[in-house]
Structure 1
Amino acid sequence: MALNSNAHQRNKVDFFSRITKFSPHFLLCILIVPVLGGLLSVLLPAFGWAPAMEQTTFGLHGFKALWQTPGLGQMVMLTITTGLVSTVLAFVITLLMLSAFFNSPWLNRIQRIFSPILVIPHAAAAIAVGFLIAPSGMISRLISPWLSSWELAPNGIFPHDSLGISIILGLTLKELPFLLLMALGVLAQPELGKKLKQQHQVALNLGYYPMTAFFKVVLPSLYPMLRLPILAVLVYASASVEMPLILGPNTPPTLAVAIMHWFQDVDLNLRIKASAGALLQLCLSGGLLALWLIAEKAISRLSHAPLTNGKRQYCDAIWNKVTILLTLLIIAFIGLALIGLILWSLAGFWRFPAPLPEHLVLLHFESAIAQMGNPLFNTLAVGVIATMFAVIVTLFCLEAEQLSAKPLSRFTSIIIYLPLVIPSIAFLFGLVWIQQLVHEQASFFNVVFVHLLFVLPYVFLSLASSYRRLDPRFARVAASLGTTPLNVFLQVKLPQLFAPILIAIALGLAISFGQYLPTLLAGGGRISTITTEAVTLANGASRRTSAVYAIIQMVLPLIGFMLAWILPKYFFKSAYK
């Protein structure tokens, strides 16, 4: 009996070891095969090879149809300008805030204000911004009683302006908190953060003004840590669908929105043009990445002299006041957008230019909740399955890293970012081609798998630092007492990682809840979620109903992060009773 028990125990240990060692390879397969397979499956139809449509002759008719598209040049320019300008604005404002409030308690307060914004899905953020800047939006309503004599909503150009200013505004406000929190996360690293703060203080002691000290001392060490997040933001901004679809023009739209329409058209021949357009989008995003890296090197060379010239200040007092004013305006804008969204969701009769509704009602919530049962179930089911799978794969990969006593290869570390630095619209179409060939009816599984591609990188990046900071002495003591690696993993490491795992789960759910294009394409329109419904309603439905769906979209990830914050306190409090 004892021999059987020992054999069973060894089998469990061997099974755990095999899974752990294989997990990094599995991670690579999950990320590489769909993304590169999707790119290949876009490449072939773009050049005319699409057996499913009985086209097996290579040619350039897909690109010819693309070049003949009316307004293609405007689509390309709109894509480039909105993606590049929004990224530059978000990055510059991030640097101004960091430099103005570095080593100040205000930086932590700004972080607390911006942190909840990070979990707001792009579609919900776009709806909120659209309600604010619309001709009859909150800004017009607040201005009209005091600075104008408007009795009817004015003819405004926002949203849907042809220059893409609304898109730039929405993307900047959404990506700014991400870049700021990424920078603060880097500065929170014990050794690096302490070193940079000490260097900043030394510069202040030498007579440098705070903002100048930040740019000359802190930024050169900080920027390399922010390069990948910035590039990911640039790729997303240049190939975004939700923001341009809700805030952008329709004649013509951005290239990504046009590609989506072509792919969904009942005329299947347009899918050939959509594939060619996806390759063009890939080239545009790649070109923006190359432009950013070239500009980075040029600025690095040009800034060598200013960094070493010993000049103590560059109008710091003026820039400090400008940054404070800009920060207050951004916070006020975001707050007003959210207030407007809540008011529209509760508004009864609300005549323009009244700043507030005549009365508040719950009718819109009751009507929407009665109809959102299926989308809500799909949202939760897809999010939970994709996130839990991502967490399990990540934990096994990080455990393999510790058991082998060496970090994951540089190749693996780069591949983790693959779905983030390649425009999703470029490889999603190809991946959908493959999924339809393999099993067209497995819509739910297809959506879960595609969500996993986007959830996995964020979950891994969220958990990696916490797992790698675990004190190895606990595992060594447990192993010296005869505890198997499996039990060390389950009983020693996972309890210590309870809070980080919950945060990773909340982050994964937030990422999944906000996926619009992957859900729409992989599900073939058959899997509706809160996000797909919100985007659909934002383009033509009642403003009040759209506001309700946008609020539900924001509340779902917020609940996840609240649970991630509350449960560890309850867990540890119960453990010590």
Structure 2
Amino acid sequence: MSPENTQSPLRDHRDLFTRLVTFSPKFLLAILILPVLGGLLGVLLPAFGWTPALKQTAFSLQGFDALWQTPGIVKMITLSITTGLISTLLAFVMTLMILAAFFNSPWLNRIQRLLSPILVIPHAAAAIAVGFLIAPSGMISRLLSPWLTGWDLAPNGLFPHDAFGLSIILGLTLKELPFLLLVALGALAQPELGKTLRQQHKVAINLGYCPMTAFFKVTLPSLYPLLRLPTLAVLAYASASVEMPLILGPNTPPTLAVAIMNWFSDVDLNLRIKASAGALLQLSITGGLLVLWLGGEKLIKALFRHSLTNGEREYGGFYWQKITIVLTAFIIGFIVLSLVGLIMWSLAGFWRFPAAIPDQFVLSHFKSALMHMSNPLLNTLSIGLVTTLFAITITLLCLESEQLNDKKISRFTRFIIYLPLLVPSIAFLFGLVWLQQLTNNQAAFFNVATTHLLFVLPYVFLSLASSYRQLDPRFAYVAASLGATPQKVFFQVKLPQLFAPILIATALGLAISFGQYLPTLLAGGGRIDTITTEAVAFANGASRRTSAVYALIQMALPLIGFIVAWILPKYFFKRART
């Protein structure tokens, strides 16, 4: 039975479901493009003085004049550039070094299993954990005192909140490294590509190349194009991040993104004009960094083109491999120690410096937090579920449209899916919130949910796409030839096969929604409290113990989702076999 003959039942049955599936890619484009472009327009007009709400309808450069007269504006810009670029570069280089040192080794999968749980930790919770570790009275100081440092009292430390943004760089690097590593391993998991690259790597080693040299000369040129967009997304986020700089960064002055958020949230509405101008400046900074990265690609390609074919087999690979092993062990140890310190602070009673362990462990901090957590927890779960279920639905319909039309979605659509990740959220969220306030100011829950969707949908789509496209089409052909409608084929043939991937995508979508701070704060207008907004608020003013409790709960929510996504398929498949 040829594919041409078996596809006709799928194509010809033009029912409501088929029309809905066919329309879904256009709807996907609309819900991603319109809010982002509308948000950018909503920032552009106030930046140039057009704000009817303030009775200003004449275009001017008032916002930019106020922006450049802001004390410390150059420092804000410098912090945004250096923290974003350096953290992305460090995470990217460390990813390549780990891949090169452990390629074709069972240790690579072990490192992946150790670092993968970091992906479910929201940025705010990760920042709190890192801050507790490097603080003057943090775990590092306690473990080194007084036997090495001689400190009997907590010193006046540089970290966190250092003026150079080193704490921000550390936090962003530790958070983005596992993401880039998982993206690379996901690319290598593609059957044809992974098999080809591993075989080429083995051939290079058999020809006398050092394993690390073989990776950089043979494997990386084919692997990097698959890492480009994720790396650019990391760079865009890092340059305009709010949660990490807010918790770990300096306050006088802060990074530009944090300053913009403060201006927009100020009771003085005139500061929104300056905030809009600042958002355009942030957009240009992020765009400049992306162009710089792409230009750096071309420069490195030109500089090292000859080295790919010069026949050199050794560049000190043995020493670089040892250095990578030490750095990897340090990173894993640092992350584990951060989590241990967070747990200990959440349970600590009296804990005098420099004692490494609290004098007593208590549950009173959890009890106190849980008493006031019901509303933020309910908001977090309800927004996450609504957003994720909608994202799953539109993603499945779009992927089904590929099969009904026998072609993948266009390259333009694939690029648009990344659009909310490449455009700094601080640049378009203000305009989007402004438009929401004009059209539907009272529907805070709806505004927050639709804003979360912009960030959840890309990750859900990327998570489900490969699994859906790898479905064996013969099952659908047979079902269609037996008279099954496209709707029945979709629900009764394809979705059961995708049970596990859908659960993983759902857990990922929930994790992304749970971790959203700035979209929740701005779109909700301060009326929607979630675990993340509470965690950030406590991190900047409440007791360390309460902050640790909220950070742990913020970590636990997505972790529970992934555990359920891992257990349920095994349970149902076991029942199916019996």
With structure 2 as the length reference, what TM-score do the two structures score?
Answer: 0.98
Distance 2:234 2:75 in 1: 22
Distance 1:479 1:137 in 2: 63
Distance 2:492 2:446 in 1: 32
Distance 2:288 2:542 in 1: 37
Deviations 1:378-423 (A, max 9, x none): 0000000000000000000000110000110111111000000000
**Corresponding residue for residue 4 of structure 1:** none
Provide the secondary structure at the position in 2 that maps to 1:361.
coil
Distance 1:320 1:481 in 2: 58
Letter in structure 1 aligned against 2:389: M
Distance 1:237 1:273 in 2: 22
Whether the 8 Å contact between 2:464 and 2:501 is mirrored in structure 1 is: yes
Provide the secondary structure at the position in 2 that maps to 1:449.
helix
Query: How many pairs are equivalent?
Result: 568
Distance 2:73 2:94 in 1: 32
1:386-397 correspondence to structure 2 within 5 Å:
386-397=387-398
How far is the alpha carbon of 1:474 from its aligned partner? 0.2
Distance 1:53 1:467 in 2: 50
**Corresponding residue for residue 326 of structure 1:** 327
1:119-518 correspondence to structure 2 within 5 Å:
119-518=120-519
Letter in structure 2 aligned against 1:123: A
How far is the alpha carbon of 1:569 from its aligned partner? 0.6
Distance 1:358 1:576 in 2: 52
How far is the alpha carbon of 1:145 from its aligned partner? 3.2
Distance 2:294 2:48 in 1: 30
Provide the secondary structure at the position in 1 that maps to 2:146.
helix
Letter in structure 2 aligned against 1:223: Y
Letter in structure 1 aligned against 2:111: I
Whether the 8 Å contact between 1:13 and 1:484 is mirrored in structure 2 is: no
Letter in structure 1 aligned against 2:442: Q
Deviations 1:49-77 (A, max 9, x none): 01122110100000000000000000000
Change beyond 3 A, Cα 1:12–1:268? farther
Distance 1:16 1:574 in 2: 31
**Corresponding residue for residue 8 of structure 1:** none
Distance 1:490 1:370 in 2: 42
Distance 2:276 2:524 in 1: 18
How far is the alpha carbon of 1:571 from its aligned partner? 1.1
Whether the 8 Å contact between 2:122 and 2:515 is mirrored in structure 1 is: yes
Provide the secondary structure at the position in 1 that maps to 2:15.
helix
Letter in structure 2 aligned against 1:458: Y
How far is the alpha carbon of 1:148 from its aligned partner? 2.1
How far is the alpha carbon of 1:573 from its aligned partner? 1.3
Whether the 8 Å contact between 2:146 and 2:152 is mirrored in structure 1 is: no
**Corresponding residue for residue 6 of structure 2:** none
Provide the secondary structure at the position in 1 that maps to 2:352.
coil
How far is the alpha carbon of 1:12 from its aligned partner? 10
Distance 2:71 2:534 in 1: 29
Distance 1:120 1:53 in 2: 41
Whether the 8 Å contact between 2:13 and 2:485 is mirrored in structure 1 is: no
Deviations 1:207-261 (A, max 9, x none): 0000000000000000000000000000000000000000000000000000000
Distance 1:576 1:136 in 2: 55
Provide the secondary structure at the position in 1 that maps to 2:563.
helix
Distance 1:188 1:410 in 2: 22
Distance 2:555 2:13 in 1: 42
Deviations 1:408-464 (A, max 9, x none): 011111100000000000000000000000011110000000000000000000000
Letter in structure 2 aligned against 1:211: M
How far is the alpha carbon of 1:576 from its aligned partner? 2.3
Distance 2:35 2:191 in 1: 37
**Corresponding residue for residue 85 of structure 2:** 84
Distance 1:13 1:442 in 2: 37
Whether the 8 Å contact between 2:116 and 2:178 is mirrored in structure 1 is: yes
1:118 and 2:119 are equivalent in the alignment: yes
Distance 1:31 1:168 in 2: 30
Distance 1:52 1:457 in 2: 34
Deviations 1:52-110 (A, max 9, x none): 22110100000000000000000000000000000000000000000000000100000
Distance 2:312 2:226 in 1: 26
Provide the secondary structure at the position in 2 that maps to 1:416.
helix
How far is the alpha carbon of 1:117 from its aligned partner? 0.4
With structure 1 as the length reference, what TM-score do the two structures score?
Answer: 0.98
Distance 1:562 1:172 in 2: 26
**Corresponding residue for residue 530 of structure 2:** 529
Letter in structure 2 aligned against 1:571: F
Provide the secondary structure at the position in 2 that maps to 1:59.
coil
**Corresponding residue for residue 7 of structure 1:** none
Distance 2:13 2:413 in 1: 27
Distance 2:492 2:304 in 1: 52
Distance 2:67 2:390 in 1: 39
How far is the alpha carbon of 1:146 from its aligned partner? 2.3
How far is the alpha carbon of 1:149 from its aligned partner? 1.7
Letter in structure 2 aligned against 1:280: L
Distance 2:54 2:459 in 1: 37
Whether the 8 Å contact between 1:38 and 1:430 is mirrored in structure 2 is: yes
Provide the secondary structure at the position in 1 that maps to 2:70.
coil
How far is the alpha carbon of 1:14 from its aligned partner? 1.1
Provide the secondary structure at the position in 2 that maps to 1:278.
helix
Distance 2:165 2:509 in 1: 30
Distance 1:83 1:282 in 2: 13
Structure 1 runs of 4+ off > 4 angstroms?
Answer: none
Whether the 8 Å contact between 1:514 and 1:531 is mirrored in structure 2 is: yes
**Corresponding residue for residue 3 of structure 1:** none
Distance 1:55 1:105 in 2: 64
Letter in structure 2 aligned against 1:443: A
Distance 1:241 1:571 in 2: 41
What is the aligned-residue RMSD (CA, Å)? 1.0
Provide the secondary structure at the position in 2 that maps to 1:154.
coil
Distance 2:118 2:192 in 1: 28
1:105 and 2:106 are equivalent in the alignment: yes
Whether the 8 Å contact between 1:13 and 1:486 is mirrored in structure 2 is: no
Unmatched segments (≥5 aa) in structure 1: 1-10
Letter in structure 1 aligned against 2:157: G
Whether the 8 Å contact between 2:79 and 2:164 is mirrored in structure 1 is: yes
Distance 1:78 1:366 in 2: 39
**Corresponding residue for residue 575 of structure 1:** 576
Letter in structure 2 aligned against 1:434: L
Whether the 8 Å contact between 1:455 and 1:508 is mirrored in structure 2 is: yes
Letter in structure 1 aligned against 2:156: N
Identity of aligned residues (%): 75
Distance 1:272 1:292 in 2: 31
How far is the alpha carbon of 1:17 from its aligned partner? 0.9
**Corresponding residue for residue 566 of structure 2:** 565
Distance 2:577 2:213 in 1: 49
Provide the secondary structure at the position in 2 that maps to 1:507.
helix
Provide the secondary structure at the position in 2 that maps to 1:245.
helix
How far is the alpha carbon of 1:13 from its aligned partner? 6.1
Distance 2:408 2:85 in 1: 34
